[in-house]
Structure 1
Amino acid sequence: MRTGPLSDTDRTPPKTVGAVWGLLVLNTLGSTGAKTIVPLPRSLIQMVTMGALVAAFTLALAVNLRLRVRPSAYVFLLTLLLVPSVISSADLGSGFGALFRCARLALFVGTLWLLSRWWDGGVTFVRHHIRMYFAVLGSVAVGLAVSPGAALPDLYGGRLVGALWPLTPPQIGQYAAVVIGLTVLLVLGRRTDKGSAAVVIVPSLVLLALTHTRTATLGLLIGLAAAIGSLVLTSAAARRFFAWAVLGAVVAGVGFASALRAWFLRGQSQEHFTSLTGREKVWDALLAAPRTTSEQLFGMGLGDKSFGGLPIDNSWLAVYHEQGLTGAAVVAAIMVVLAGVALLRPPSLSRACAIFLIGYCAIASYTEAGLGDASPYLLHLAVAASLLVAPAAAPPPATPEAPRRRVPRWAPRSEMT
């Protein structure tokens, strides 16, 4: 691969880049979830998602045949994460599926390397991110309109699921929260008008409320607070929004306290709520399980983020279980590097969007898995990394040469010299 200053053509991503990003989003939607209106075999879904990743890599390679890339600590650390993943999966203790997941992660990281050519600190990939996930939310809304019973099943306690594509409530909540947060920041940065933003934000808020997803809601609120706080000193619009948001939070807390509490508890008992819906039992069992030194260092191999048949629902413990302490150290380095670079950048819209995405992923990592494998969380952080790239300096304009004086052929030799 080649690195170096980019030409004007390199700085303008082709339309194919948006298609590649959409295929990466499709690949990370997953293959398990609620029952859909039209039953979709899991094998078919896996074929579609894996085919999307292969197509994404192929298209990215087609538009970047010269293999021009931007230096990126984020993608470099993701490449390092492949080392413990392959080491732990090579002994086939987790079956051939572990090696398949390693190949998927390698293809995912390779596609990000190819796309890094167009990472320039702008909001291009933020717009791609919003469009693609809003399209996913659109499919959820269509499923809700076509079959409310399938979209709000009793199996999930009446929470919103994907009736056309098998999406769980936490997934939908995550996509809605990220779309809302990024769109709000684009409005504050005057990169979109309020009417267009309302078309995106209002339905996304409705879908988020119907999922009853606490992690996504807290991630949205805390991530936005941190992002807008980074703009307060330089943006009057951010100061006004922050003031109105605080006032609205106070009014909602006083006037709708009981309704908010009921929504937050989702009908669960206080004991069930404090134990994080039973997650702590799985976490305790995972940490108490005996492991060899090799398993502690490199993990058990890439799997389906479960332990004893139950979901782990914690990114750090999932990485420790599958990629060991080495993988956990790499993931921690990713978060620290991105957060450190974001704090060192001057206030800007790009920095605020990056802070929101990093903050959201950090909060969600406590109750959701995904930081150690190809997932929406790694795509969120990839957008953050694209926003934190220092813009390449434009090449200096060429100095025009002075026109040479034309001398007639008949002129004497003295005039020619």
Structure 2
Amino acid sequence: MGADLRRGGLSGGPDTAGTQPGAEPRPDGTPKIVGIVWGLLVLNTLGSTGAKTIVPLPRSLIQMVTMGALVAAFALALAVNLRPRIRPSAFVFLLTLLLVPSVISSVSLESGFGALFRCARLALFVGTLWLLSRWWDGSVTFVRHHIRMYFAVLGSVAAGLVISPGAALPDLYGGRLVGALWPLTPPQIGQYAAVIVGLTVLLVLGRRTDRASAAVVIVPSLVLLALTHTRTATLGLLIGLTLAIGSLILTSAAARRFFTWAVLCAAVAAVGFASALQAWFLRGQSKENFSDLTGRAKVWDALLAAPRTTAEKVFGMGLGDKSFGGLPIDNSWLAVYQEQGLVGVALVAAIIIVLGGVALLRPPSLQRACAIFLISYCAIASYTEAGLGDASPYLLHLALAASLLATPAEAATPLGAPDVPQRHIPRWARRSEVT
């Protein structure tokens, strides 16, 4: 990526996103190791199942790498925040509460010892987010970490496509793009591409990076997204960007211009390439198969019709592999209901509602727009993808949204008030990030 994307974009210029770049909380106090921790969390959430790779990788080895990344992330976060200083976060607090039904339902071992292992993984994931919350100051620092890491993941996908096109576009997946070097499925690749494209577009509109640097990210990511034929990711990108840019229209001339051109291009594409777009969207499926959501509806009906005890309805059946009857559930809400019960569903709904409510109450800004994009994308994807109830990329996207919506620590001092050294303030009255 370009130099401007690395160092924080252009300086000066008009306020096209509702906040001046100079007014953004400065991330100078964020240690570089925090970016490494974020990258390790991304590695942990890549998963251990997917397509066949060029060089066969044992699942045990992949699990060792991903779990090792999480342990390393927690250890590094604790090392850099040795005397734990954390910031209040409703998002992480609700995630912590989600551990309660997870543990209650998992101790019965109906889902095997793997359920307790997944509970420990979720606890480490949440603990790492608590430690990182110290640096959640409403800046776009973590957005850059997010883009860099997922762009690196997409780089491995592109490398696999160049090295072995046959392995990267296998017939088993209907010719859709998969990870040939690391076992990634088409929905995963589509998700990563859509998220970083949306965030990068918003950074350009907010003048936090230049267009050349953004093009290096956006163009190849869109190509990979198209090769995955992932409808959920495409719709999430389009709807999420529409909502995010819509939140900037009243305060950003750049957002208004982009929105106008996007509508014109969409109209031209809809008229001139209607048949090609329909063929890409259907992926060769019949209308009956498409309306059945590629067989998902049958799994959902069977899951809801399965007999359950009162305890299983309330707390679920324990953290599992997000499947029912050997078939993937592919719905976050039903997966949470299956594994963490109605309590888990209520907590996950509270997470989405709280983040969305806070975003709507914030004044227009680039950070708010990025948060709206991430929240709306995760909400849309939750209908056909699982992951909101366990350590996953979706929870990492929402954690990024929470970091963008955090109130800067500097805001605790009234405008124009003298900066009184902390040592001259009684301990009970000091501004503290500790909760």
- Per the TM superposition, whether the score is higher than 0.5 is yes
Q: Deviations over 1:154-178 (max 9, x none)?
A: 0000000000000000000000000
Which residue of structure 2 lines up, in the alignment, with residue 413 of structure 1?
none
The letter for the 1-side match of 2:241 is: L
Scaled by the length of structure 2, the TM-score of the pair is: 0.89
Which residue is 1:255 aligned to? Answer: 272
SS in 2 for 1:155: helix
Letter of the 1:99 counterpart: L
> 2 CA distance for matches of 1:46 and 1:357?
27
Q: Distance in 2 between matches of 1:278 and 1:12?
A: 50
Letter in 2 for 1:279: R
Residue identity opposite 1:383 in structure 2:
L
Does residue 21 (structure 1) correspond to residue 38 (structure 2)? The answer is yes
CA distance in 2, matches of 1:399, 1:269: 69
- Counterpart of 1:275, as a letter, is D
Is it true that 1:357 corresponds to 2:357 in the alignment?
no
The residue aligned with 1:95 is 112
Corresponding residue SS for 1:296: helix
Paired AA for residue 329 in structure 2: I
Change beyond 3 A, Cα 1:352–1:397: same
Q: Is the 2:27–2:139 Cα contact (8 Å) retained in structure 1?
A: no
8 Å CA contact 2:368–2:404 kept in 1: the answer is yes
1:5: which partner in 2? none
Match of 1:158 among 162, 171, 175: 175
2:420 and 2:363 map into 1 onto residues whose CA distance is 32
Identity of aligned residues (%): 86
Q: Which residue of 2 aligns with 1:133?
A: 150
Displacement of 1:12 in angstroms is 1.4
Residue of structure 2 in register with 1:373 after alignment: 390
**Does 1:330 find its partner at 2:347?**
yes
- Shift of residue 399, structure 1, vs aligned partner: 7.4
Structure 2: distance between partners of 1:16 and 1:46: 23
2:323 to 283, 306, 310: 306
Shift, 1:351, TM fit: 0.1
Aligned-residue CA RMSD in angstroms? 1.3
Give the Å deviation of 1:9.
11
Shift of 1:294: 0.1
1:24, 1:52 within 8 Å by CA — same for their partners in 2? yes
Does the alignment pair 1:208 with 2:225?
Answer: yes
1:64 aligns to what?
A: 81
Unaligned runs of 5+ in 1: 1-7, 401-417
**Distance change (3 Å), C-alpha of 1:399 and 1:350:** closer
Q: How far apart are residue 393 of structure 1 and its match?
A: 2.3
Q: Which residue of 1 aligns with 2:363?
A: 346
* Deviation sequence 1:342-380 (CA, Å, 0-9, x none): 000000000000000000000000000000000000000
In 1: Cα distance, 2:318 partner to 2:242 partner = 37
Aligned partners of 2:26, 2:257: CA distance in 1, in Å?
39
Q: Report the residue type matching 1:250 in the other structure.
A: A
Q: How does 1:67-216 map to 2 (within 5 A)?
A: 67-216=84-233
The alpha-carbon deviation at position 39 of structure 1 amounts to: 0.1
Letter matched to residue 85 of structure 1? S
Whether contact under 8 Å (1:11, 1:120) holds in the other structure is: no
SS at match of 1:162: coil
Q: Is the 8 A contact 1:357 1:381 kept in 2?
A: yes
- Highest CA radius of gyration, 1 or 2? 1
Map of 1:388 onto structure 2: 405
Counterpart among 321, 327, 347 of residue 338 in structure 2: 321
- What does the per-residue CA deviation read over 1:56-76, in whole Å, with 9 as the maximum and x for residues that have no partner? 000000000110001000000
Q: 1:141 to 1:282 in 2, by over 3 A?
A: same
Q: Which has the bigger relative contact order, CA under 8 A and spacing at least 6?
A: 2
Unaligned runs of 5+ in 2: 1-24, 422-435
Q: Does 1:232 align with 2:249?
A: yes
- Distance across 2 between alignment mates of 1:150 and 1:289: 38
Q: Which runs of 4+ in 1 moved over 6 A?
A: 8-11
CA–CA separation in structure 2 for the residues paired with 1:359 and 1:351: 12
TM-score, scaled relative to structure 1: 0.93
Contact 2:322/2:386 (<8 A) preserved: yes
2:69 is matched with which residue: 52, 62, 87?
A: 52
The number of residue pairs the alignment matches comes to 393
